[in-house]
Amino acid sequence: MARAAAEMIERILTVLSAAGFRDDQLLDAYNVVVAAQVGFVTRELAALPLEGIVSWAEEHRKQVTTIDILRYPMLGRPFPAFANKAFMLRWSNGTEVPLR
């Protein structure tokens, strides 16, 4: 995952946490904020690569699961609940893993 994306996610989570969101509410609030920023349909139904989908998904999963949680503690704390379930932290799109 690009450093800029991790920093943006960290800032969003920091603000939402300070506003009182926790656990599942934090995940839902985060997804609402990102969907409002870039458009829900754009993120939820984003096209996957036509070729090399398995390697693309594995590379994205690797980038997401190796984020430096010491550098991004807000992202590290809820990470297991966010992995492949939050915008920008998914390696599957909404046709395979729809948001709840």
Per residue in 18-58, pLDDT (tens digit) is 999 998 899 999 989 988 887 776 767 777 778 888 898 88
- Between 87 and 72, name the one with better pLDDT: 72
Identify whether 94 is part of a domain: no
Averaged pLDDT score across all residues of the chain: 83
Identify whether 49 is part of a domain: yes
Identify whether 93 is part of a domain: no
Residue 84 pLDDT:
80
Residue 77 pLDDT:
74
Single-letter residue type at 33: V
Q: Could you give the CA distance from residue 13 to residue 26 in angstroms, rounded to a whole number?
A: 8
Grouping H, G, I as helix, E, B as strand and the rest as coil, residue 70 is coil
Identify whether 92 is part of a domain: no
Burial class (CB in 10 A: 0-12, 13-18, 19+), 75: buried
How many separate domains does the chain show?
Answer: 1
Identify whether 88 is part of a domain: no
Residue 43 pLDDT:
67
Q: 74 lies in which domain range? A: 3-82
Identify whether 91 is part of a domain: no
Identify whether 41 is part of a domain: yes
Check whether 87 has a pLDDT greater than 80.
no
Query: Is 91 in contact with 57 (CB distance < 8 Å)?
Result: yes
> 3-18 and 23-38 helices cross at what angle (nearest 10)?
120
